[in-house]
Structure 1
Amino acid sequence: MMLDRLREIVQEVNTAKDLQTALDIIVSRVREAMNTQVCSVYLLDSDINSHVLMASEGLRKESVGHVSLQMDEGLVGLVARNAEPVNLENAQQHPNYHYLSETGEEQFSSFLGVPIIHHRKVLGVLVVQHKEKRSFDNGEEAFLITLSAQLAGVIAAAEASGAIQGISPSGQRRADASFSGISGASGVAIGEAVVVFPHADLSLIPNRMTDDIDSELSAFSIALNRVRDDIRALSDSVGDQIRPEERDLFEVYLRMLDDEALGREVNDLIYAGQWAQGALAEVALDHVKSFEQMKDPYLRERAADIKDLCSRVLFYLQETERTKPKVYPDQTILVGEELAPSMLMEVPREKLAGMISVKGSGNSHVAILARTMGIPTVMGTLDLPYRRLDGRQVIVDGYNGTVFSNPSEQLLQRYQEVLKEEEQLVRGLEGLINLPCITPDNHRVSLWVNTGLMTDVVRSLDHGAEGIGLFRTEVPFLLSERFPSEQEQAAIYREQLQAFAPKLVTMRTLDVGGDKALPYFPIEEANPFLGWRGIRVTLDHPEIFIAQARAMIRASEGLNNLQIMLPMVSNLQEVTGATQIIKRALRELQEEGLDVCMPPIGVMIEVPAAVYLTRHLCQMVDFVSVGSNDLTQYLLAVDRNNSRVADLYSAFHPAVLHALKYIVEQAHAEGKPVSICGEMAGDPGAALLLMAMGFDVLSMNASTLLKVKAVIRSVTMSTARELLEDVMQMSDAQSVRSSVDLALYNAGVDRLLRSSRSN
């Protein structure tokens, strides 16, 4: 019974248009469900540092919105401070009791308050009170705790929507609303938010205002008529094949689209300035929620019909929209629930200033692409109501993983100063481009780059890269609508090889699966990171592998600067199988008259199994390369795309450092060179540890290369080895990071570590 009441309250609150409506529903329904005389919600308003009485059934109505308690004041403050329930038979006798005369609460003796917690943060307190002196029983307390946990997300989302519009929970005007995420790519960007979204998904359409109301009304009318035509055609085509009552449904759908039903509601919102897609989505989702709440199973099922009907209208609206050229502002901040590489490519590079992705983490594929392109990015902003962000001015702080909306003049000025500092730093580093990467005590380190696009190559050469340690061949595959042919691949690979010749270019064979799904080759798995990815996919599809191997070797003709690298290797048989396919590709091309030779073959060490096979692998290949992103993920059992556990993901974890040191020792024992091409190599502090371990090549994004070079040229190898010796004795990542930062500070290069301090 209680579970049903719980579900009903949560469903009803989910349909609320705004925070106040949600809170009013909560206090009314909870008081009724618990058969108590008072239910109130206090929310923390950080702008005034107080808990404000935001809604109540049972206390004086005039006190709502006006009464507040300071952070630690009263029983409400006690619940919030300890983040645990307080259940009292006689509240007035408790030393923390604080009498609020405006509320009229002196007549109520018993008190039960539970914290409203979202992502470890106490948003407020849910309180029930009763005149009789009685302790609320365990069942009542459990009910209120469960309800509070379920409603926390709804309240957080409603609060965040208000913050974007410049309003605090108690209605104060607010600027500098901040939303925390994870740093995806360092740097700062100030610009205008442009929300992007997949097609035909009503739940992802952003709110967007329009000046051209007539055009939006016309587009909606055309889309409605096309759906009406579709329904009539479908009704005619099924004819007598279905029962009369089922055929009547078509008439119901047609009536729903009338000007007196859904159509009118959408038009009203368009007249109010909302664009057609946003108006349709708002009306559709409201109706879907209403039907989903109905007790009658037949009516509940109609929610799916409404969703399908409105999705059809949305499809035609978007089809019309696609014919119009998309105009992006000069300083575009690209925002989406889950950004995809194709979305990035649609924006002219000179206009793309920053990116925000609600899902994903600092090590997801889009974040890596952002770092490659040097675009400040924040990932995993789970509480950001991004659909309301379109057209608003925002600041992206890619150093601290923070997004600001409604920035004040002071905040804008502060971040404009940061942008100036960045420009000065870049200009200061340019003098290092043609200097060797050598420590003050003459130890030489090779700095290579990771690339995936031709534009990366130009930037890499401009930064003085000595080779390509990782060319991500999946990028051209991700940007295509089908598997690129051998000839198309060869042309792309040839560009890379020619641009860098005679420097070595390491091409990784197709690495899809995990967080990199091809739209035309979907891989549906419950646990994709432990599933079909990397070398496993290409060995299962030799027709894809042989075409790629032929394209790579064909592209190297006359240049001979190609290296081929195999991803996600976990056993020796995979290396044998892949090598045989590459040798077959070579033979075929030689038989066709091409003057080509066998390129060096290497493996990526990314899974724990490969760590302990390093020596055996080195006996089979010409070089090994560590993919520190995946190796860290698998060693720590932390999904690098999951922002909820992102704080557990650290390449400075002692287990990761010990594994890296072991790999270098084992590879060098077999006389094979070892490189590292994960994001760790581009961290100026981590680069010191990697250099001390003995890595022959550090491969990174072009945007970090000069910073790493500046650090290596400032710190002696003997100092780096002492630092490594110290940190290898440490037992946690934070201690390691602090020691590395201190070493950089002592070397006078801490300015390169803006990410380690708050702006």
Structure 2
Amino acid sequence: MYMKRKHNMTQEYKGKSVYKGIALGPVVVFQKNDVQVKREKITDAEGEIARMQDAVRASQEQLQKLYDKAVKEVGEASAAIFEVHQMMLEDEDYQDAICNMIRNEMVNAEYAVAVTGDNFAEMFASMDDDYMQARSADIRDISNRLVQNLSGHAPVDMNDMEPSIIVADDLSPSETVQMDKDKILGFVTVHGSTNSHTAILARMMNIPALIGVPVELDALQNGMQAVVDGFAGTFVVEPSKEVCEQTKARMAEEAEKQQLLQQMKGQETVTKDGRQVHLYANIGSVSDIASVLDNDAEGIGLFRSEFLYLGKTDFPTEEEQFNAYKQALQLMAGKKVIIRTLDIGADKQVDYFNLGQEDNPAMGYRAIRICLKQPEIFKTQLRALLRAAVYGNLSVMYPMITSTEEVEQIFAIVEEVRAELDAAGIPYKMPEQGVMIETPAAVMISDELAEMVDFFSIGTNDLTQYTLAIDRQNAKLDDFYNAHHKAILRMIRMVVENAHKCGKWAGICGELGADLELTDAFMEMGVDELSVAPSMVLKVRKNIREYTAN
């Protein structure tokens, strides 16, 4: 389905809804960095060089903005990469090589930049010096930026834009983690799955999102008005005046429903027959804590620590991690904060981990497996966590557990970290330690695991994927993916029962925790805690308060 550009020409597309909501606003097309470069003959070499120099200036301005933002958010050391890129852009050898190629071969600036970038990148990559080898990726990055600016595909500054509907082919976790969440009205992607990171993020942010929308990205222009309707599963581009009015009325209606839910604030999360349930929130970074507090969650049941690793060019230091965890604990002021140790791999790829290509990354080298194989990475995180525990009510949980031996290995590494902190006289506190139950293996040995740890948190997203043998990122399998499958519900019951036999508590931190159709079933099973997207806290509380045991 191709959309031809005509003024006031409404186009409607059907997609699959991953969060029910409705939004009206301008479109911003999020393009990947892979602009196709063609070799073209030119007649005016000096004109091309002038275009190239304009693109250099535009790139410098973008890099300066990125540097300023990064300094505020992640500190000077992590922001330094943008300074390096600015210096490389100004390099005379690099610029001379581009200009010479334009003049000598009479080719367009895009082609000259792409070829020169490749040549310099290969030269750096073949050097013996580690520092120079690392510059290879940087030179490709700045060449890509230049080509984008030359071809009119300049990256949209997500911080300067007005609140908009983000339209993309698909979005990776490292792309979404860099976006300013306050500026996003909704997501629309051509590909993706209902269980993808984008879908989880949309549910966390309480914004409408559609996947599988057959729209031609090149046919859209930034600033076009559009409607994302998560209830009907439609994406309407250039809506008529009548559709705009109807949408505004429905948005007002939704706002009113949200207003009624606000009455749940300050209420206890307790069933009609008096059973107290803990209702926590899932978050992806310290900045999400405002939403946790605003939605009146009792604590944080899943803090995805990998946000510290995504979208960076090197491992976060112990101090960076310590400061982030400490800040989260201080902001939560004594409320429980459960931090999951890094869960990199599968759909969360990070270049500097050098994980390599895997045929089946969801079942590959990820999460606790990386930590046990590369204990130095793990120890840095554990040191930061134990030190931060002094500042609040911290619990730590370990993902992707499949055996009691893994737990023993983890505890041995924790003991090493404690000994190091003791020897250095650094203050720390031992947090409560739990494991995530997200593999069928962990379910089947949950009676043994319960004797070793303080609590269980059931990660239903991966548990469903592994139990049903369905890749949750594969959109073709969405019709086979049944999160309400009897096998999943029986597993949850089994885990809760085994935890209780040992006097331990068991919660759910996967997406299923926020499934309002299952709240009663979870209460009947005796689930002690539910951790959900901040936007779902009040809805789940309402359901829990209406439940009574038969």
TM-score (normalizing by structure 2): 0.78
Q: Runs of 5+ in structure 1 lacking a partner?
A: 1-159, 168-172, 204-214, 236-249, 264-276, 278-310, 719-759
Pick closer, same or farther for the CA change 1:703–1:232 going to 2, 3 Å. closer
Aligned to 2:339: 507
Counterpart in the other structure of 1:14: none
Check 1:709–1:317 CA distance in 2 against 1; reply closer, same or farther (3 A cut). Answer: same
Aligned-pair CA distance for 1:598: 2.1
Q: Which residues in structure 2 correspond to 1:542-581 (within 5 Å)?
A: 542-559=375-392, 561-581=393-413
Q: What SS does the aligned partner of 1:443 have?
A: coil
Secondary structure of the 2:466 match is helix
Distance in structure 1 (CA, Å) of the matches to 2:331 and 2:33:
37
Identity %: 36
Is 1:682–1:708's contact at 8 Å kept on the other side of the alignment? yes
Residues 353 and 376 in structure 1, CA contact (< 8 A), matched pair in contact too: yes
Of 387, 392, 413, the residue aligned with 2:218 is 387
Once the 2 structures are TM-superposed, how far is the Cα of residue 545 of structure 1 from its aligned partner?
A: 0.2
Deviation, structure 1 residue 542: 0.3
Distance 1:216 1:192, change over 3 A: farther
Give the Cα–Cα distance (whole angstroms) in 1 for the partners of residues 442 and 525 of structure 2: 18
Shift in alpha-carbon separation, 1:438–1:506, aligned structure 2, 3 A: same
Q: Which one has more relative contact order, counting CA pairs under 8 Å at least 6 apart?
A: 2
Residue by residue over 1:332-376, the C-alpha shift from the partner in whole angstroms, topping out at 9 and shown as x without a partner, is 111222223454455544332112222322222232223223332
Q: Is the alpha carbon distance of 1:377 and 1:498 closer, same or farther for their aligned partners in structure 2, counting shifts above 3 Å? A: same
Aligned partner letter, 1:317: V
Deviation at 1:174?
A: 6.3
Partner Cα separation in structure 1 for residue 468 and residue 242 of structure 2:
41
1:198 and 2:32 aligned: yes
Amino acid in the other structure paired with 2:459 = G
- For 2:2, the equivalent position in structure 1 comes to 161
**Cα distance change on mapping 1:161 and 1:693 into 2, 3 Å:** same
Q: Deviations over 1:306-330 (max 9, x none)?
A: xxxxx99865233678799677543
Structure-2 change in CA distance of 1:670 and 1:346 (3 Å): closer
Instruction: Choose which of 536, 539, 562 in structure 1 pairs with 2:372.
Output: 539
Q: Which residue in the other structure is 1:336 paired with? A: 168
CA contact (8 A) 1:334 1:356 kept: yes
The answer (yes or no) to whether the contact 2:302–2:338 under 8 Å persists in 1 is yes
Cα deviation, residue 467, structure 1: 1.8
Counterpart residue identity of residue 438, structure 2 = E
Aligned partners of 1:227 and 1:575: how far apart in 2?
Answer: 52
Could you tell me which runs of 5 or more consecutive residues in structure 2 were left unpaired when the two chains were aligned: 38-46, 57-92, 115-140
Task: Please report how far the alpha carbon of residue 593 of structure 1 lies from its aligned counterpart in structure 2 after TM superposition.
Answer: 2.2
Match of 2:442 among 594, 603, 610: 610
Counterpart in 2 of 1:418? 250
Cα distance in 2 for partners of 1:258, 1:234 equals 9
Quote how far apart the aligned CAs of 1:652 are. 0.9
User: C-alpha separation between the residues in 1 aligned to 2:27 and 2:234?
Assistant: 14
Matches within 5 A, 1:682-693: 682-693=514-525
Q: In 1, Cα distance between the equivalents of 2:433 and 2:209?
A: 34
Once the two structures are TM-superposed, the CA of residue 678 in structure 1 deviates from its matched residue by 0.4
- In structure 2, give the amino acid aligned to 1:530: M
- Distance in 1, matches of 2:288 and 2:519, equals 21
Label 1:647 to 1:622 Cα distance change in 2 as closer, same or farther (>3 A): same
Whole-angstrom distance in 1 between the partners of 2:156 and 2:365: 39
Partner of 2:510: 678
Does 2:478 correspond to 1:649? no
Mean Cα displacement is larger for which, 446-455 or 536-545?
446-455
Question: In 2, are the aligned partners of 1:539 and 1:545 still within 8 Å (CA)?
Answer: yes
Instruction: Flag the 1:410–1:716 CA change in 2: closer, same or farther, 3 A.
Output: farther
Change (3 A) 1:581 1:698: same
1:358 aligns with 2:190: yes
Which residue matches 1:467? 299
TM-score after normalising by structure 1: 0.58
Equivalent position of 1:177 in the other structure? 12
Over aligned residue pairs, what C-alpha RMSD do you find? 3.3
Distance in 2, Cα, partners of 1:336 & 1:342: 14
- CA deviations on 1:206-264 (whole Å, 9 max, x unpaired) are xxxxxxxxx9995368679x9995378689xxxxxxxxxxxxxx97xx25x269xx99x
Amino acid across the alignment from 2:148: Q
**C-alpha distance in structure 2 between counterparts of 1:639 and 1:520, whole Å:** 25
Q: Does 1:498 align with 2:330?
A: yes
Which residue number in structure 2 is paired with residue 745 of structure 1?
Answer: none
Distance in structure 1 (CA, Å) of the matches to 2:546 and 2:195: 28
Relative distance call for 1:602 and 1:345 in structure 2 (3 A) is: closer
Residue pair 2:55, 2:149 contacting (<8 A) in 1 also = no
Contact 2:12 2:236 (8 Å CA) reproduced: yes
Cα separation, partners in 2 of 1:598 and 1:223, compared to 1, 3 Å: closer
1:327–1:369 Cα change, 3 Å: closer
Structure 2 match to 1:120: none
In structure 2, relative to structure 1, the CA distance for the partners of 1:258 and 1:570 (3 Å cut) is closer
Give the distance between the partners of 1:326 and 1:566, measured in 2 at CA.
Answer: 33
Residue among 354, 360, 370 paired with 1:527? 360
When Rg is computed on C-alpha atoms for both structures, the one with the higher figure is 1
SS of match in other structure, 1:569: coil
> Is this contact kept in 2: 1:191–1:394, CA < 8 A?
yes
Give the SS at the match of 1:582: helix
What do residues 125-166 of structure 1 show as CA deviations (whole Å, max 9, x unaligned)? xxxxxxxxxxxxxxxxxxxxxxxxxxxxxxxxxxx213x646
Structure 2 residue aligned with 1:104: none
Counterpart code for 2:494: Y
CA contact (8 A) 1:447 1:705 kept: yes
2:530 to 678, 687, 698: 698
Measured at CA, do residues 439 and 547 of structure 1 come closer, stay the same or move farther in structure 2, by a change above 3 Å? same
Q: Is the 8 A contact 2:20 2:231 kept in 1?
A: yes
Question: 2:340, 2:397 within 8 Å by CA — same for their partners in 1?
Answer: yes
The count of aligned residue pairs is 475
The whole-number CA distance in structure 1 between the counterparts of 2:155 and 2:244 is 36
Q: Which string of whole-angstrom CA distances, capped at 9 and with x for unpartnered residues, describes residues 36-82 of structure 1?
A: xxxxxxxxxxxxxxxxxxxxxxxxxxxxxxxxxxxxxxxxxxxxxxx
Q: Could you report, residue by residue, the CA deviation over 1:533-576 in whole angstroms, capped at 9, with x for unpaired residues?
A: 111011111000000000001011153x1111010111121111
Structure 2: distance between partners of 1:313 and 1:587:
47
Alpha-carbon separation, structure 2, partners of 1:202 and 1:717 = 61
What secondary structure is seen at the aligned counterpart in 2 of 1:603? strand
Compared with structure 1, are the counterparts of its residues 648 and 503 closer, same or farther at alpha carbon in structure 2 (3 Å cutoff)? same
Distance in 2, Cα, partners of 1:578 & 1:547: 13
Aligned partner of 1:486 in structure 2 is 318
- CA deviation string 1:448-485 (max 9, x = no partner): 11112222212212222112111100012114332110
